[in-house]
Amino acid sequence: MANSDSSIKFVLDDCLTEIKFLPDSHVKPTTTVLNYLRSLPGHKGVKEGCAEGDCGACTIVVAELNGRGGLSYKSLDSCLLFLPVIHGKQLITIENMAIKNGKKLELHPVQEALVNEGGSQCGYCTPGIVMSMFGLYKNHQNPKREIVEDAFTGNLCRCTGYRPIIDAAYEACNNPEPDHFSTNEEKIAGILEKIGEDKSTIKIIAGNQTYLKPFTINEAIRLRKEHPDALIINGSTDVALLQTKKKIFLTKILDLSGVDELKLIVEDHSKIAIGAVTSIEEILNFSETRLPALASILSVFGSLQIRNLATLGGNIGSASPIGDTLPVLMALDGKVRLLAQGRQRELAIEDFILGYRKTDIETDEIIALIIISKPSKSEIVRSYKISKRRDLDISSVSACFRLKLDKSKNVEAIKIIFGGMAASVKHAGNTEEFLKGQPWTRENVEKAMEILFQEFSPISDARADAESRRIMAKNLLMKFWIDSEIKIHEVV
């Protein structure tokens, strides 16, 4: 099943679907899956609420090969998905949930549960709720409360209230039976495998747009050199907003989401290497028991729909001063490995980030790996995020602290790193210097808080004013001291 340079293939309604991007076609490579579906006569259940991945009205589920002969199911925001991203995947919408048995329409178990518990609401947001619950249904049996709640953090409209929706999720996911998707899984997997056999680059030129989608790392590097002006995307959760919210026309894109060689997590006794295209959700699941500080910040990185799509390479590459992962990665001595044709180099993340939205990446390089060090058992690492909402919100201030004490409980080494306090994520260098060698006491921490209060000159914006940010920062230092005392007493 050979790929045409200008076409993509995926499964919709259990059938192989091909889109050819012709010069005069109304469908463009940056057409979102949301807008594509709504252009079809039979897929209007998906809705646009915010066009930025916040409301969940556009939630779909995408199934892809899991490497074990089956499929994995992920809920995604279709408003952030450019069409070529779903090449080689199965696209599942609300219209695919119920099936006809003769003349009778049989609801999917998640739909049935919502009806039984009174969790259904208006037709605008109910489809997104159903799809989020379907993703939960396909991934968790008898889930805990926090997993159920997390599945719905990206669905903001709950006209009927939380309780009936959560009760419906418990009902549907209590020892779930195989559904009609399970019955069809072998067939769908076979179609996707055939699509995936062809690793030739998809090159779409439609009007004034060029969209490049390689499937090998060598091809990605070659295209990067040939097209240094191309905008690189991994998951497009950030870049898509340039189009949907700022109405910027994206002329050239290099899409690395199909490069499986960049989707990996490798661990040894001292380090962990993470591929740049590895999703935030995969990293969260991996780090829960290994790197709690990283897991803590990733758990409030965004909704499940966002985490299933967003990548670590994208978060670092954006060089945002409020990028949630950066304080933790810097505290863990994070490095980025950059690849180009015939060479590679590694940079500490704090050297890679040069300033506001600016990085030290050459025009022929891609981010391939993020390498972090494992803290020793004697070190205490904690991360924090302050935002107006707990879930699905941008940080006002974020921070990560890494502390090592000597036998006398003096500070042998400390890292204090903040996001949201400057044009880029920064160390609190003066505060670190004051605390080194000092007894780790409340008195010294209170003195350090005053130094920290004067160390940054943050801006005021919609998320917080400058004075509030400075207060948040110094109070987080005290919070870390309290948390560290709890940890020390637990060890003792």
pLDDT in tens, 155-178: 987 777 789 999 999 999 998 889
How far, in Å, are 71, 231, 255, 275, 370 from residue 234 at the CA level?
A: 21, 10, 6, 11, 14
Single-letter amino acid code for the residue at 482: I
Q: Look at 490 and 458; give whichever has higher pLDDT.
A: 458
Q: Is the pLDDT of residue 408 over 70?
A: yes
Q: Please report the pLDDT score of residue 65 as a whole number.
A: 97
Q: Please report the pLDDT score of residue 132 as a whole number.
A: 97
Banded pLDDT at 491 (limits 50, 70, 90): low
Lowest mean pLDDT among 234-238, 260-264, 270-274: 234-238
Q: Is the pLDDT of residue 124 over 90?
A: no
Banded pLDDT at 3 (limits 50, 70, 90): low
Banded pLDDT at 390 (limits 50, 70, 90): confident
Instruction: Put residue 283 in one of left, alpha, beta given phi > 0 → left and psi -120 to 50 → alpha.
Output: alpha
Provide the token pair at 299.
Answer: 């758990």
For residue 101, count CB atoms less than 10 angstroms from its CB and return exposed for 0-12, middle for 13-18, buried for 19 or more.
exposed
* CA separation for the pair 401, 307 (Å, rounded): 24
- Tell me the per-residue pLDDT of 173-207, one tens digit each, with 9 for 90 and over: 998 889 999 999 999 999 999 999 999 999 999 88
Q: What SS3 state is found at 400? A: strand
Q: Please report the pLDDT score of residue 1 as a whole number.
A: 46
Q: Is the pLDDT of residue 4 over 60?
A: no
How far, in Å, are 86, 190, 193, 205, 341 from residue 89 at the CA level?
A: 5, 11, 10, 22, 30
Q: Look at 480 and 120; give whichever has higher pLDDT.
A: 480
**Do the beta carbons of residue 437 and residue 411 sit within 8 Å?**
yes
391-410 mean pLDDT = 94
**Do the beta carbons of residue 262 and residue 217 sit within 8 Å?**
yes
Banded pLDDT at 393 (limits 50, 70, 90): confident
Q: Is the pLDDT of residue 492 over 50?
A: no
- Tell me the per-residue pLDDT of 451-484, one tens digit each, with 9 for 90 and over: 999 999 999 998 899 999 999 999 999 999 999 9
Q: Please report the pLDDT score of residue 110 as a whole number.
A: 97
User: What is the dihedral sign for C-alpha 240, 243, 248, 251?
Assistant: positive
Domains, the chain, with CATH or none? 7-96+181-255 (3.10.20.30), 109-178 (1.10.150.120), 263-491 (3.30.390.50)
Q: Is the pLDDT of residue 287 over 60?
A: yes
Taking the CB of residue 41, how many other CB atoms lie within 10 A of it? 5
